[in-house]
Chains A and B, each alone.
Chain A
Amino acid sequence: MVKAYIGIDVGSVSTNVVAIDENANVLFNIYIRTNGQSIDSVKKGIESLKQQLDHRKYTISGVGTTGSGRQIAGVMVGADVVKNEITAHAVATTYFVPEVRTIFEIGGQDSKIIFIKDGMVVDFAMNTVCAAGTGSFLDHQSERLGISIEQFGDYALASKNDVRIAGRCTVFAESDMIAKQQYGFSKPDIINGLCQALVRNYINNLARGKKLEPPFVFQGGVAANSGIKAAFEKEIGHEVIIPSYFNVMGAIGTAILAKEEIQKTGKKTNFRGFHALQTDFVPSSFICQGCSNNCEVIKVKMNGQTVAMWGDRCGMWQEKVSQVVI
């Protein structure tokens, strides 16, 4: 039997599941739109993994989760490692591009920049204020312009004129786009202008004047967009590498971390098994009336038994069930 490790990245827009072997070769990967249903998407991802991975050949030896839904996914599958997405992304990128110095990661609801030196994270930044410059905004705009997000890049590359669009805030960007559209600019020009605005905003907001050193790696769902890649290359004046598994890098990273954890500790995995996902798995929430904070406490039940609780500021509920280790 060959050991395989699962990595699950539950993001705002997509849920990604990968399986890697001992040498971090990707055996399986899937990118699913979360559509607000993280539990279902995790189930869906694991289900297709089960079907496609030869279970006579591979045995699951470790599981890691990451992304904003990492906690709930961790409880669901029985994760060995629950890791923040910045570390997870960095781990995966330094594996595929060991000499990388700067990682651009743009996802659905957030964007990050990670600075690497000698294979270690030395600095990072994450967008804080606004969703301008993330996948969701592009999604929204492509819908408004009546083109599919997959065509976005091709449109941008077909542009002939430079159109300046404000990128600092989605509200300004959108009104600028509408103004330009009313002047009669073509769709490709507007879309290209938007790509450039987004990149400009990304560099201003996240890099904040820090020195950007090559090699550059661009990943996250938005890396599928060739218009953004071109805008990045124009802005920084250097080639940008897009790794082959650009849209599931977080999941790969957490799978690698799970593998290392298991190898380091020699423990047996906590993975609940494929069949466990068929069990009844119900999250619910209630407003705790213990004090005036009125925290929304999330309670996760598995087969009628409470397996995890969080969301309370005082820790009163968390203490009542064994907590998932972050």
Chain B
Amino acid sequence: MKISFPYMGTVIIYKKVLELLGHDVLVAPRPSQKTLDLGVKHSPEFACFPFKTIMGTYIEACEMGADTLITSGGHGPCRAGFYGEIHKRVLKALGHKFDFIVFDSYARDKEKFIRNIKKIKGNNSWLKVIKAIRFTYQMLKEIDRFDKWIAKNRAYEQITGSVNQAWDEIQKMFDLAHTKKELKEAIINSEKLISAIPLKEVQERNKVRIGIVGEIYVVMEASINMEIEKILGELGCEVERSHYLSDWVDHNMLPSFLKRSHEEEILKKGEPFIEIEIGGHAKQTVGHIVDFKERGFDGIIHLMPFGCLPELISQSVIPKMSAQYEIPVFTLSLDEQTGQANNKTRIEAFIDLIKNKKLSNHQFSA
């Protein structure tokens, strides 16, 4: 069995849990132009951008010899709920032979969830499965902690590229850790690595903080969101995303009695604007806007795949929120288009707007 999965964010996590269970794991290449070309070619025209990218990734994985694909399902009325099924049909039509395992929320179909777990479990003992999941979960928490540090401090690096470089190395170190002891070492070494990066001293009131909200795939996967965190870092902004894998796992994979309250709280904050679950991450999007504002962020960038239904709804409540909370929000719709000049212009102008507002260091006068 050669397992592969969609490429989203820090993929070493999915790789790790499968490896610990003794599977042969194939990590598909990071989405590239080729991935998009393949995905667009073999997807229905109206499907959203994440669907097409993931389609491309699956094709690449199958061509590289994967025979099992694992993915998470969508929930709620968002089209993503059908995506597993459509992906499967397209791949079958292309003549690929594979087993397709879709993990939906535990609450939605407990039996199927358990059945899927059993497939992954293979001949391993339950104890081993639990250990593997616990280990990976711990690792995930740690790596997300570093991820957050990176996005926050990229703006202040003294040597251009030093923070990005450290992040690459941290991921490599975590990738090589397979035991508790190795994980501990990776954490210690990563701490050492980042504390050695020379950073600029910036006064608290001169810091600009941007929250990124929106649909999970375009928020988390840098290769398809124009590496927005890097762009913002170069423009001198601290960045935090609304989605980290560990939050997603907490919210979707743990049975409700184990659930941490963070995501629930966020959802509650969004309720005055979007009352019911409309699928995708629309509720999270509005909730996070409130949350970021409460935590003193200066602006929000809202990422959505072009034509994403739930995010179109959140987009239309955003002007109201923006006025009520007095926080600038900028919506960026992403698609296969690679020309970035227009988007970069707008991001730059948006950051100018925030900086002018915050720092008032610029009077438009001659």
Which residues of A approach B to under 8 Å, CB–CB? 23-24, 68, 83-87, 90-91, 94-95, 98, 110, 119-124, 126, 128, 208-210, 256, 259-260, 291-295, 313, 315, 319, 326
Contacts and interface: CB of A to CB of B under 8 A. Distances in A.
A313 B30 CA distance: 13
A87 B355 CA distance: 12
Contact of B346 (A23, A86, A91, A120): A86
Contact of B342 (A24, A87, A128, A293): A128
Given A95-B364, A110-B342, A126-B346, 16 more contacts: A24-B366, A84-B345, A84-B346, A86-B345, A95-B365, A119-B364, A120-B362, A121-B353, A121-B356, A126-B342, A126-B345, A260-B362, A293-B32, A293-B34, A295-B33, A315-B161
20 contacts: A84-B349, A84-B352, A85-B345, A86-B345, A86-B346, A87-B348, A119-B363, A120-B353, A120-B356, A121-B352, A121-B353, A122-B328, A126-B342, A126-B346, A128-B342, A256-B366, A292-B33, A295-B33, A313-B227, A319-B161
A293 B234 CA distance: 22
Given A119-B363, A126-B342, A326-B348, A210 B319 contact: yes
B364 A68 contact: no
Interface in B217-246: 223, 227, 234
A122 B33 contact: no
Interface magnitude class on chain B: 20 to 34
Contacts of B32: 291-294
A294 B352 CA distance: 32
Nearest to A21: B366
A121 B345 CA distance: 15
Contacts of A86: 345-346, 348-349, 352
Nearest to A315: B161
B12 to A, nearest CB: 19
A84 B363 CA distance: 17
A20 to B, nearest CB: 8
B364 A94 contact: yes
A158 B165 CA distance: 64
Contacts of B227: 313
Nearest to A93: B364
A68 B366 contact: no
Nearest to A125: B346
Contacts of A98: 365
Contacts of A122: 328, 353, 357
